[in-house]
Amino acid sequence: KILQDKIAAGEVVERPSSVVKELVENAIDADASDVTVYIEESGMKSIRIIDDGHGIRKEDAPLVFERHATSKIENDYDLFQVRQLGFRGEALASIGSVSHATIESFNRESSPFKLTYHGGEQIELTDGKERVGTDILIENLFYNTPARLKYVRHLKTEAGKIIDVISRVAIAHPNVAFKLELDGSTRVQTKGNGNLKEVIADIYGLNIAKAAIPFEHETQDFNITGFIVKPEISRSNKNYIHVSINQRHIKNFGISQAIINGYHSLLPKDKYPIAFLNIDMDPKLVDVNVHPTKLEVRISKDRALFVLIEEAVKATLRGTPL
Ligand code: ADP
Ligand code: MG
């Protein structure tokens, strides 16, 4: 079982930033409204995430680090309905198998507990603090997978990747207050008041927020909302194109390309737009089960969506109706 988890770990949690992403998504899935992330040494020393979500019942504690045991999926039908970010029950099992993990949690309907796990084995289960929510600490990541450890030690960009993960999740969830501290200094902070424009300002600064034009288009199948930034401010890569579907941050080449095409004649060939779009649609039409990290999605009726986005971006930039 531990070997299996370690193999899965290579897929789901290949580096510290992917651990952070999984843990933050768990906090969101638990309906947290406040998520604080403390990182030391780019996550190689420690990753700690404190949320005020619904917590875990003590009865469920032995299952938390078990593979698939705790998946939120109840049956096959649900697979197409998932609005939650996690649904494979794989992340904590993987993370727990390649680190020293401590989780302290309290769910109102149960009693608080604290669980320690080392390299896939339960070390201790004791009583915890009566604070609703979850506090998870991951230390010595990859200590028992030497090849992986060697590989991640050479990563230079991990702190930047972690900032990126938190920024993207914060943009997809304006109603959640996020704070990220890297080695004691605050790098991301949002208020969680539901105002996307303020989140954009908090993360990218006032200039970009001021140049953001509201975007809103609704058809029978899709309701797209957010902001697109005036072409006067652009970037030399596609990393500033934010797309989420039903508040789940995703990557989809066609959607990014549709946004870029909408800006077509307004940006030089080597420049890319800054955009923040959420697409609300029937979850049955989205297949998020393509890759373990759940970033890539397949969408039914995607052609129609691409055309809609491109035309809507053009119309919004022109200031004319579609
Ligand atoms: P999943 O795919 O279900 O998210 P994970 O391995 O990420 O699987 O988490 C396992 C389970 O542990 C979750 O289904 C959830 O029940 C519980 N859990 C993990 N983190 C939290 C959290 N921060 N708050 C509440 N429950 C959590
Ligand atoms: Mg999860």
For residues 141 and 277, state if they share a domain: no
Q: Counting ligands in written order, which one lies closest to the CA of residue 32?
A: 1
Reported pTM = 0.89
For residues 59 and 138, state if they share a domain: yes
Q: Which amino acid is at 150?
A: K
Query: Whose CA is closest to atom 13 on ligand 1?
Result: 70
Site to probe by mutation for ligand 1, drawn from 21, 92, 132 as the one with most ligand atoms within 8 Å of Cβ, is: 92
For residues 219 and 166, state if they share a domain: no
Query: Whose CA is closest to atom 16 on ligand 1?
Result: 70
Per-residue pLDDT of 139-183, as tens digits, reads 999 999 998 898 888 888 899 999 999 999 999 999 999 999 999
| Complex prediction ipTM | 0.99
For residues 143 and 239, state if they share a domain: no
Q: Residue 177 pairs with which residues in a beta bridge?
A: 34
**pLDDT (0 to 100) of residue 300:** 86
Domain holding 178: CATH number?
Answer: 3.30.565.10
Per-residue pLDDT of 182-207, as tens digits, reads 999 999 999 999 999 999 999 999 99
Cβ-contact 130, 108 below 8 angstroms: no
For residues 224 and 276, state if they share a domain: yes
For residues 162 and 219, state if they share a domain: no
Query: Whose CA is closest to atom 7 on ligand 1?
Result: 91
Residue 102 lies inside a defined structural domain of this protein: yes
For residues 261 and 305, state if they share a domain: yes
Residue 171 lies inside a defined structural domain of this protein: yes
Q: Residue 188 pairs with which residues in a beta bridge?
A: 180
Q: Counting ligands in written order, which one lies closest to the CA of residue 91?
A: 1
Q: How far is Cα 99 from Cα 83, in angstroms, rounded to an integer?
A: 29
Average pLDDT of adjacent 10-residue blocks, the chain of 322 residues:
64 87 94 98 97 96 79 45 58 94 97 96 96 97 92 87 95 97 98 97 97 95 96 95 89 94 94 96 79 72 94 94 74
Query: Ligand 1 center to residue 108 CA distance, Å?
Result: 16
For residues 183 and 218, state if they share a domain: no
Q: Which residues form the domain of 298?
A: 211-318
For residue 269, count CB atoms less than 10 angstroms from its CB and return exposed for 0-12, middle for 13-18, buried for 19 or more: exposed
For residues 175 and 216, state if they share a domain: no
Site to probe by mutation for ligand 1, drawn from 23, 63, 70 as the one with most ligand atoms within 8 Å of Cβ, is: 70
Query: Whose CA is closest to atom 17 on ligand 1?
Result: 64
For residues 162 and 18, state if they share a domain: yes
Residue 203 lies inside a defined structural domain of this protein: no
For residues 242 and 153, state if they share a domain: no
Give ligand 1 pocket residues (Cβ under 6 A): 22, 26-27, 29-30, 51, 53, 55-56, 64, 70-72, 86-93, 134
Domain holding 259: CATH number?
Answer: 3.30.230.10
Q: State what percent of residues in the chain have pLDDT above 70.
A: 87
Per-residue pLDDT of 23-38, as tens digits, reads 999 999 999 999 999 9
Residue 204 lies inside a defined structural domain of this protein: no
Average pLDDT score over the chain:
89
For residues 262 and 309, state if they share a domain: yes
Number of domains comprising the chain: 2
Residue 256 lies inside a defined structural domain of this protein: yes
Residue 198 lies inside a defined structural domain of this protein: no
